[in-house]
Amino acid sequence: MRAVEALFFDVFGTVVDWRTSITNEMKNFAGARGLDADWAALADHWRGLYQPAMEEVRAEGRGWVILDTLHGENLDKAWAAFDLPALDTADRKHLVAAWHRLDPWPDAVAGLTRLKAGYIIAPVSNGNIALITNMAKRAGLPWDVVLGAEVARAYKPMPEAYLNSAAAIGRAPEHCMMVAAHNDDLHAAKAQGLKTAFIPRPLEFGPGGGADVEPTGDWDVVAESFEALAEELEL
Amino acid sequence: MRAVEALFFDVFGTVVDWRTSITNEMKNFAGARGLDADWAALADHWRGLYQPAMEEVRAEGRGWVILDTLHGENLDKAWAAFDLPALDTADRKHLVAAWHRLDPWPDAVAGLTRLKAGYIIAPVSNGNIALITNMAKRAGLPWDVVLGAEVARAYKPMPEAYLNSAAAIGRAPEHCMMVAAHNDDLHAAKAQGLKTAFIPRPLEFGPGGGADVEPTGDWDVVAESFEALAEELEL
């Protein structure tokens, strides 16, 4: 495993607990305005529109669009689906930026700090650079470099998302390891020659939410936290 | 000045002492091979080919090429100009990567660490992402995000190099400050609406080498080190 020089991290679900964070943002926003809804359900609905929106970009029917833009469009749809009163521009902007304010899982900062001592650590996320940078600054995620969709100009699981990220840091794919809580991300990374580490996050979609808990591929590492990953990688 | 949210750093000459580093790399390389030349002069010659090579890309007569590629081509020219024996592939690669191993000026790491507490700190360099990432990892430069030529797909001083870097982190140009030892970089940044900080590095080109020592524009800050810049920015 010493041939690995860089660790690529999925972010939403793997590094940060988007569901709890978005639900709490919604509750705080709603509380000040007397709005009522099942905010966790709205968070799930909003997140559920993520893959179809990216697919419009991946399928090339639509030109390149950053995730902030897709989050805004999807918020409009989710808001309407829950029969909530229309958002003004400032409120819409505030809620879209909630994805810049997600809290990390408890092991994330300590684990990344440890992993950084031995590897280049980089987000390879579908989040845009501003989102990932603001999130890291707020949460203390010690990335060496921000890679991913906006640098690669491709959304995962497109091959270019992995290959262009590896090329950007001048590494062959086999010297990079994708770290994710999602088997599909790892299958796509492995198909391009990257090493793989599966870190299940059973509560990503809430209790009984159906997160990936078992590996569905022959991943190089399976560990229950970033700290356990550091152990596996002998740091 | 509190409206500034991000500090953009020129790297070659402003953060790192490329001339001493490249000269020492050359001496070490040559010593093991019994080669002799004025290595500081070769470093200067190599660096002197930098702007003309980028101009071929900027003028759009040539498609996008990363700086590592230009450094390799320029090394071939410099090597020939000094009548040195041809380099094999591994040696050429080793010397091109010397630009990934530049040492920072003495105040750089401590100053950046302090500035990071109050601002997003990002290289906005003509160096490619791999070069900047490897340099940062080796030298301990604590960047929040790597911006610059490869993210912007434009070499400074093209307007897009500054504007696309600001846009990548979701900031208006006036909320970004360009920090550089070169007046021409600051003139170009200011023309796009960025704030400016001039940090002269009198020894960039060696003693009497003609580095910029006086500001030629009305820069927002003039300071003699990154630590002094942190003082000016009230950190």
**Do residue A116 and residue A72 come from a single domain?**
no
pLDDT tens digits, A163-190: 999 999 999 999 999 999 999 999 999 9
Pair (A122, A219) in one structural domain: yes
Same-domain check for residues A167 and A51: no
The radius of gyration computed from the CA coordinates of chain A, to the nearest angstrom, equals: 18
Do residues A182 and A226 both lie within one domain?
Answer: yes
One domain for residues B88 and B184: no
- Do residues B107 and B80 share a domain? no
This prediction's pTM: 0.96
CATH number of the CATH domain containing A58: 1.10.150.240
Q: Under an 8 A CB cutoff, do B145 and A146 touch?
A: yes
Distance from CA of B154 to the nearest CA of A (A): 14
Interface residues from chain A to B (CB-CB < 8 Å): 68, 120, 128-134, 136-137, 143-147, 150-151, 168-171
Please check the confidence at residue B1 and state whether its pLDDT lies above 80. no
**Is A213 a domain residue?**
yes
Residues of A in contact with B129 (CB under 8 A): 145, 147, 151, 168-169
What is residue A212's predicted lDDT score, i.e. its pLDDT?
97
Q: What ipTM was predicted for this assembly?
A: 0.95
In a domain, A25, yes or no: no
Sign of the four-CA dihedral B211, B217, B223, B225: negative
Task: From B79, B100, B121, give the residue that closes a domain.
Answer: B100
Q: Are residues B64 and B114 located together in one domain of the fold?
A: no
Mean pLDDT of B26-39: 94
Shared domain for B160 and B211, answered yes or no, is: yes
How would you class B195 by CB atoms within 10 Å of its CB: exposed for 0-12, middle for 13-18, buried for 19 or more? buried
CB contact under 8 A, A133 and B169: yes
* Shared-domain flag, residues A128 and A200: yes
In this structure, is residue A84 part of a structural domain?
Answer: yes
Identify the domain boundary among A43, A70, A100. A100
Residue B60 — pLDDT band, cuts 50, 70, 90?
confident
Q: A–B: how many Cβ contacts below 8 A?
A: 59
- The answer to whether residues B110 and B92 belong to one domain is no
pLDDT single digits (tens) B81-95: 999 999 999 999 999
Of A68, A129, A145, the CB nearest to B133: A145
- CATH number (domain holding residue A130): 3.40.50.1000
Query: For residue A180, is it within any domain?
Result: yes
End residue of a domain, out of A100, A123, A158: A100
Strand order in the sheet with A195-198: A147-148, A120-125, A6-9, A176-180, A195-198, A221-222
pLDDT > 90: percent of chain A: 94
Tell me, yes or no, whether A164 lies in a domain: yes
Give the pairing type, strands B120-125 and B147-148.
Answer: parallel
Tens digits of per-residue pLDDT, B147-184?
A: 999 999 999 999 999 999 999 999 999 999 999 999 99
What is the domain count for chain B?
2
* Same structural domain, B95 and B123: no
Verify that B66 and B135 share a domain, yes or no: no
Q: What percent of chain B shows pLDDT beyond 70?
A: 99
Q: Is residue B1 part of a domain?
A: no
Residue A151 bridge partners (DSSP):
none
What would the 3-class secondary structure string for chain B be? CCCCCEEEECCECCCECHHHHHHHHHHHHHHCCCCCCCHHHHHHHHHHCHHHHHHHHHCCCCCCCCHHHHHHHHHHHHHHHCCCCCCCHHHHHHHHHHHHCCCECCCHHHHHHHHHCCCEEEEEECCCHHHHHHHHHHHCCCCCCCEEHHHHCCCCCCHHHHHHHHHHCCCCHHHEEEEECCHHHHHHHHHCCCEEEECCCCCCCCCCCCCCCCCCCCCCEECCCHHHHHHHCCC
| C-beta atoms of B133 and A143 within 8 A | no
Q: What is the pLDDT along chain A (235 residues), one digit of tens a residue?
A: 559 999 999 999 999 999 999 999 999 999 989 999 999 999 999 999 999 999 988 887 888 999 999 999 999 999 999 999 999 999 999 999 999 999 999 999 999 999 999 999 999 999 999 999 999 999 999 999 999 999 999 999 999 999 999 999 999 999 999 999 999 999 999 999 999 999 999 999 999 999 999 999 999 999 999 999 999 998 8
Q: What is the pLDDT of residue A2?
A: 58
Q: Which two tokens stand for residue B160?
A: 């897009």
User: Would you list which residues of chain B are within 8 Å, Cβ to Cβ, of chain A?
Assistant: 68, 120, 128-134, 136-137, 143-147, 150-151, 168-171
Domain containing residue A82: 32-100
Interatomic CA distance for residues A176 and A164, integer angstroms = 12
* Residue A23, domain member (yes or no): no
CB contact under 8 A, B130 and A168: yes
Give the separation between CA B53 and CA B46, rounded to whole angstroms: 11
